Amino acid sequence: MEQPAAVILAAGRGTRMKSSLPKVLHPLCGRPMLEYLIATLRRAGVRRLLVVVGREGEAIRGALGDRVEYVVQDPPRGTGDALARALPRLRGHALAYVLHGDMPFVSVRTLRALRQAIGRHAAASLATRRMEQTHRFGRIVRDPAGRFLRIVEEKDATPAEAAIREVNAGFYCFRIAEIRRTLRRIRPTNRQAEYYLTDAVGLLAAAGREVVTVDVADAEELLGVNTRAELADAEAVARRRALRRLMDGGVTVIDPATTLVHDGVRVGPDTVLRPFTILTGRTVIGPSCEIGPGARIHDSILGRRVRVRDSTLEGVRIGEGTVVGPYAHLRPGTVVGRDVEIGNYAEMKKVRVGDRTKVHHKSYLGDAWIGADVNIGAGTITCNYGLDRRKHRTTIGDRAYIGSDSMLIAPVRIGRGAATGAGSVVTKDVPPRGVAVGVPARVIRFLNGRPS
């Protein structure tokens, strides 16, 4: 069975959104809504995919790149005109799906049903559904025998037509040669003065060509986005689906109503997501973790058995068994080893932390390399920004002990097994096993003998 190409209609201005961002690029669970439709078409096996864009086309090109082909419709003169502009690019293809870019939840099942329904002889197949709330949908008009006759847009419907409960979902599969001929015959004789694609479907039926319909099982597939309120409705659907995917994979979500997980985030089995957890971007959470309450994690990778509570992580990597929080802030470039303890009000930026190190209380560590089994006392600061307006590195060796309220003036090295006294201001390197105290700090003795 031949696989159709696809045309996505995305040239509408979306004026009701009142936004400088093209409507189809507004995000749902962290991804532009148009990407949901593209991903579904790819899963359905579509290889040739055209997106019809308007005056805002450059923004859409910038977001999607060369993953799709583009057709420009300017000025926008309706859905029929949009498809007519795309069809010359599809020579050599017999069939094409046609979908609206602001309807992100069409399913692979519906697309395959449309392809199967058109078969070898029908001119078109379209998706429909019976609904009680028919606002904004075109109505499906049938003859007494139940055969499809035409689609009437709501703004052009008579009272009797407006009472029809079967609506047009907006997803089609066309035989390209037939829809190309028919589009030449449509006229903008409607209140919008536009060329309606739905008129072409009616003309096919009136000419005696077979037009078949497919029932859509899930009403969410018909959810379109034209306003900010509808965008919020679509976000709720995307959020629920993302959480359901995780739960089906063995993740416990204590309170879905207060948990936000972006589409594309991966979470391992037996991990627990507690209330007010937010996982965004390209985050990957390992198995058997406990995340939240109050965790905000973006573009980060966490290993097994990691615990994060009431903390913010951005662009970091966390090793197995590490505990973070409460109220810690780990910023981009931070890499934390295994079984590390990071506690109250600790902040890190571009830091490497070795295994089993403890950073428990009220510290700022920036541009630092910290070894294994190090203890960082409360109030420690790496003063990484110099008078030369450059960032400098602090290096702390394995098993070092940094006393409370130490200030380490970078660039500086604290040797393996060395220690600083409480309140020290360290401006020079401290050798291995050296003990430095004072302001400025000086080495007063060595632990376990002078180093060789």
Question: Catalytic residues, which ones?
Answer: 361
The topology under which CATH files domain 5-222 is Spore Coat Polysaccharide Biosynthesis Protein SpsA; Chain A (3.90.550)
User: What is the tens place of the pLDDT at every residue in 189-240?
Assistant: 777 778 889 999 999 999 999 999 999 999 999 999 999 999 999 999 999 9
Return the amino acid letter for 352.
R
User: What is the tens place of the pLDDT at every residue in 355-400?
Assistant: 999 999 899 999 999 999 999 999 999 999 877 888 999 999 999 9
User: What is the tens place of the pLDDT at every residue in 148-194?
Assistant: 999 998 888 899 999 999 999 999 999 999 999 999 999 887 777 78
Which positions ≥6 away from 131 have C-beta within 8 Å? 137, 165, 167, 219, 222
* pLDDT score, position 154: 87
- Mean pLDDT across the stretch 66-86? 92
- Mean pLDDT across the stretch 86-96? 94
Average pLDDT across the chain, whole number: 94
- Mean pLDDT across the stretch 28-47? 96
CA distance 198 to 169: 11
The per-residue b/e assignment along 335-366, b for 16 or more CB within 10 angstroms, e otherwise, is: bbbbbbbbbbbbbbbbbbbbbbbbbbebbbbb
Q: Does the pLDDT value for residue 75 go beyond 90?
A: no
* pLDDT score, position 386: 77
- Mean pLDDT across the stretch 135-153? 92
E strands, 11-88, where? 27-28, 31-32, 49-53, 69-72
Token pair of 434, please? Answer: 């050296």
* pLDDT score, position 450: 64
pLDDT band at 56 (very low <50, low <70, confident <90, very high): confident
* pLDDT score, position 16: 86
CA atoms within 13 A on the CB side of 70: 19
Q: Does the pLDDT value for residue 59 go beyond 80?
A: yes
* pLDDT score, position 452: 45
- Mean pLDDT across the stretch 235-260? 97
pLDDT band at 14 (very low <50, low <70, confident <90, very high): confident
- Answer for the pair 316, 335: CB distance below 8 angstroms, yes or no: yes
* pLDDT score, position 21: 92
For domain 251-446, give its CATH number from 1.10.3720.10, 1.10.150.20, 3.10.20.30, 2.160.10.10.
2.160.10.10
- Answer for the pair 243, 259: CB distance below 8 angstroms, yes or no: yes
> Could you tell me what percent of the chain has a pLDDT over 70?
99
pLDDT band at 449 (very low <50, low <70, confident <90, very high): low
Kindly report, as residue ranges, where domains of CATH 3.90.550.10 are found in the chain.
Answer: 5-222
pTM: 0.90
CA distance 150 to 138: 10
More confident residue, 115 or 156: 115
Kindly report, as residue ranges, where domains of CATH 2.160.10.10 are found in the chain.
Answer: 251-446
User: What is the tens place of the pLDDT at every residue in 117-137?
Assistant: 999 889 999 999 999 887 889
CA distance 206 to 46: 30
